[in-house]
Amino acid sequence: MKEMHSTSGHGGAAVQPHHEDAARTWSLGGQHYDDISFGVSDALAHAAQRLNPQPGQHILDVATGTGWSARNVARAGAHVTAVDIAPGLLDAARQLSAHLQPSIRFEQADAEQLPFADGSFDGVISTFGVMFAADQQQTARELARVCRRGGRLSLAVWAPGGAVQDFFGVIGQHSGEPAPEPSPLAWGDPDHARALLGEDFELWFEPGINNHYFDSVEDAWHWYARGFGPIRQVMDSLSPGEQAAFRQDIDDYHGQYATEAGLHIRREYLLIIGRRK
């Protein structure tokens, strides 16, 4: 069994102080956040298949949410440790994953300070997760540190421009919060990803399109208002009139994806595949 406990210099608080607000926001979705993962499940499957986990390997899922990618990896017979900053999502992940064998180990931890020894894992996966950590360079260093030489990396990240940038733009217009710098979407630029990871990993890139379907903009609104923490957080901060304006802007965003059969949302992403040098 590999040593995966905290080591000197890598302990401390489970969540970095500058991530505490984000932890509260993402927790708001609770078990309903699993629906959000279902909506991007084609991309999550892409990431798990490219990781190619093997029975008995030790795999780390960083920013696991409700554990969707951890379960995708565990189905191959790997021993999975899954971490997130959001306690509300971890509680849901434990409940949703309780039936699996070998069982998944869930714990609260921050991507910028992973509480594991160097080279603890045969592979590391993160699906639309680590890209939201504030310190991108430190996050990349931690991914490399905990992955053994020859181990695999699989990161699904949203691409700059396009559907996801526009979606977060609508949320940002109503939240009053400044856009993070650097943008989390910078991970979706292969040159930026090479600058972060290329010293430690041999890298390959596969662009992808996530396909998500709804009958109507009303269905889409309720889906996200239940399970997507950033939308719930904004709604909680607004007056009734402001809430109505926010919902209208989200409905208008989703309305542009209308087809005869209903909504078909296409979101551009990049899969970053790595092998530890």
Q: What is the pLDDT of residues 51-73, one digit of tens each?
A: 999 999 999 999 999 999 999 99
Residue 177 has a pLDDT of: 86
Q: What pLDDT is stored for residue 176 in this prediction?
A: 87
Distance CA 48, CA 74 (A): 10
CA dist., res. 90 & res. 84, Å (int): 7
Single pTM value for the model = 0.94
Q: How far apart are CA 3 and CA 17, in angstroms?
A: 27
Helices assigned H by DSSP within 76-228: 87-96, 136-146, 163-175, 190-197, 217-227
Residue 194 binned pLDDT confidence (cut-offs 50, 70, 90): very high
Tokens of 19: 């991530």
| Arithmetic mean of pLDDT, 183-210 | 98
What is the overall mean pLDDT for the chain?
Answer: 94
Per-residue confidence (pLDDT) for residue 238, from 0 to 100: 97
The CATH class of the 17-160+179-211+268-276 domain is alpha beta
Buried-exposed string 81-114: b where 16+ CB fall within 10 A, e elsewhere: bbbbbbebbbebbbebbeeeeeebbbebbbbbbb
- In degrees rounded to 5, what are phi and psi of residue 219? -60, -45
Domain boundaries, the chain: 17-160+179-211+268-276
The candidate with the shortest Cα–Cα distance to 66, out of 30, 42, 101, is 30
Handedness of CA 159, 160, 161, 164 (dihedral sign): positive
Say what the pLDDT of residue 93 is.
98
pLDDT value at residue 39: 98
Query: Which residue from 247, 258, 226, 229 is spatially nearest to 173, judged by alpha carbons?
Result: 247
Instruction: Round to whole Å and give the CA distance between 142 and 14.
Output: 14
